[in-house]
Amino acid sequence: MKVISAIKIGNMKDSDESKRGKVGVLDVPESPMGDEDVKIKVAYCAICGSDPHLVEGIFGWEPPFGLGHELSGTIVELGKNANKKGLKIGDKVAGNFLQFCGTCYYCRNGQEQFCEHTRNEPGMAEYVVWHESQVFKMPDEVSFEQACLLEPVSVAVRIIDKTNIKIGQRVAVSGGGPIGLLTLQMLKMFGATSLTLIEPIPQRQELAREFGADFIIDPISQNVEEEAKKITGGLGFDLVIEASGSPKAAPAACNIAAKGGTVLYIAMFPKDYVMPLNLYEKCYSNELTISGTNVSPYAFPRAMQILPRMKLDKFTNKIFTIDQAEEAFEAQVSGKYPKILIKCNDF
Ligand SMILES: [Zn+2]
Ligand SMILES: [Zn+2]
């Protein structure tokens, strides 16, 4: 079967730049089915903001490896013990690309994001084999296009979990990619005020307004810290979500936070990036809480509940096939489209 993958560039030797790759399509065998596994014929797999960066090598993964973790599809085969959730052949499903073992120290300690025995199959493929625990049956009114966004919605749920937001708090989101915009929608539901998106791309600014942003700061043409002061009457934001993953934007997130505020760095930053942080000012004087998120532990059941209430139409319009992988990734990198879907099979 076909899988969109990061592959090595040309005749590059292992020694030079061995971690840089390009996008291609590999022909790989389907995975074997275990007794508790479910085989899914993939309908759509969305491109995540992190996917082109994985290919570029900024997280240090070495090609070749398959891509994709935001998928929807139909169940075509059930292992003989995949019977704990009432799943049936033909069900429309989506879910968690990571299988957590459920047994290790972290899984038993309420921290499955640190599981030491995860299994992960590439989703930009014709089929995936998942453990039953990863699979969620989608309601009929959710389309296959919307269903593949269950994973990014679960990431936004997890981000909200880490905010401890209180109604009426002033909130800024830095970065208007899909995760930033989905999180912004949820923050609006939570009663965020002075809700601000920091983002240079006009189409993304427009979407943020549609999703309930009160203010936009353009970090290219405006001074982020001065604008933040104006918006918050000099106090700063109680909560800042840094979702751009850009080293250029990262330090400002702490500078625009209010005293006692929370700053979450939720993007995958380049592996070797180190941010300077004035600990006297930010942690002693201002008592900031600074944290991040890693995947979306325990968030899928609630992502299922909230997904039908999210505005997803603008994320499901731009569609490519597996054979158009290179074109699709170029379109992704252009930043012109809110989200790009790969159609992995005809339905
Ligand atoms: Zn992702
Ligand atoms: Zn585990």
Q: What is the DSSP string of 277-298?
A: --HIIIIIIS--EEEE--S-TT
Percent of the chain with pLDDT over 90: 92
At 300, phi and psi to the nearest 5? -65, -40
Query: With bands split at pLDDT 50, 70 and 90, how would you rate the model's confidence at 308?
Result: very high
Pick the ligand that lies closest to the CA of residue 152. Answer: 1
Query: Which residue is associated with the tokens 């209010």?
Result: 258
Distance CA 341, CA 325 (A): 10
Comparing 20 with 342, the larger pLDDT belongs to: 342
What are the residues whose beta carbons fall under 8 Å from the beta carbon of 262, sequence distance 6 or more? Answer: 163, 164, 238, 239, 240, 288, 289, 290, 291
Query: Which residue is associated with the tokens 């879910």?
Result: 95
- Taking the centre of ligand 2 as the mean of its atom positions, its distance from the CA of residue 11, in whole angstroms, is 38
Distance CA 293, CA 346 (A): 35
The answer to whether residue 220 scores a pLDDT higher than 70 is yes
Superfamily of domain 159-292: NAD(P)-binding Rossmann-like Domain (3.40.50.720)
Please give the helix or strand (H or E) that residue 219 lies within, else none.
none
Mean pLDDT, the chain, rounded, equals: 95
The pLDDT, as a whole number, for residue 19 is 61
Comparing 118 with 62, the larger pLDDT belongs to: 118
What are the residues whose beta carbons fall under 8 Å from the beta carbon of 177, sequence distance 6 or more? Answer: 49, 204, 243, 244
- Taking the centre of ligand 2 as the mean of its atom positions, its distance from the CA of residue 34, in whole angstroms, is 18
Number of Cβ within a 10 Å radius of residue 62: 13
Distance CA 184, CA 189 (A): 9
In eight-state DSSP terms, residue 81 is: T
The pLDDT, as a whole number, for residue 241 is 98
Fold designation for 2-149+312-343: Quinone Oxidoreductase; Chain A, domain 1 (3.90.180)
- Taking the centre of ligand 1 as the mean of its atom positions, its distance from the CA of residue 235, in whole angstroms, is 33
Distance CA 333, CA 286 (A): 37
Nearest residue to 296 (alpha-carbon basis) of 90, 136, 175: 136
- Taking the centre of ligand 1 as the mean of its atom positions, its distance from the CA of residue 333, in whole angstroms, is 15
Token output for 96: 């968690």
Number of Cβ within a 10 Å radius of residue 271: 12
In angstroms, the first-to-last Cα distance of the chain is 17
Distance CA 96, CA 296 (A): 9
| Exposed e or buried b per residue across 279-288, where buried means at least 16 C-beta atoms within 10 angstroms of its C-beta | eeebeeebeb
- Taking the centre of ligand 2 as the mean of its atom positions, its distance from the CA of residue 296, in whole angstroms, is 14
The answer to whether residue 61 scores a pLDDT higher than 90 is no
The total number of residues shown for the chain amounts to 347
Pick the ligand that lies closest to the CA of residue 100. Answer: 2
- Taking the centre of ligand 2 as the mean of its atom positions, its distance from the CA of residue 55, in whole angstroms, is 27
Arithmetic mean of pLDDT, 113-141:
97
Pick the ligand that lies closest to the CA of residue 102. Answer: 2
**Active centre residues (catalytic):** 50, 53
The pLDDT, as a whole number, for residue 13 is 55
pTM of the complete model:
0.95
- Taking the centre of ligand 1 as the mean of its atom positions, its distance from the CA of residue 280, in whole angstroms, is 34
Q: Where in the chain is the domain with CATH 3.90.180.10?
A: 2-149+312-343
Pick the ligand that lies closest to the CA of residue 115. Answer: 2
What are the residues whose beta carbons fall under 8 Å from the beta carbon of 234, sequence distance 6 or more? Answer: none
Write out pLDDT tens, residues 70-88.
999 999 999 999 999 999 9
The pLDDT, as a whole number, for residue 11 is 56
The pLDDT, as a whole number, for residue 166 is 97
Write out pLDDT tens, residues 237-268.
999 999 999 999 999 999 999 999 999 999 99
The pLDDT, as a whole number, for residue 17 is 55
Arithmetic mean of pLDDT, 87-93:
98
Q: Where are the alpha helices (DSSP H) in 164-298?
A: 178-189, 202-210, 224-231, 250-255, 279
Q: Where in the chain is the domain with CATH 3.40.50.720?
A: 159-292
At 103, phi and psi to the nearest 5? -120, -30
What are the residues whose beta carbons fall under 8 Å from the beta carbon of 220, sequence distance 6 or more? Answer: 200
The distance between the two most distant Cα atoms of the chain, rounded to a whole number of Å, is 62
The pLDDT, as a whole number, for residue 314 is 96
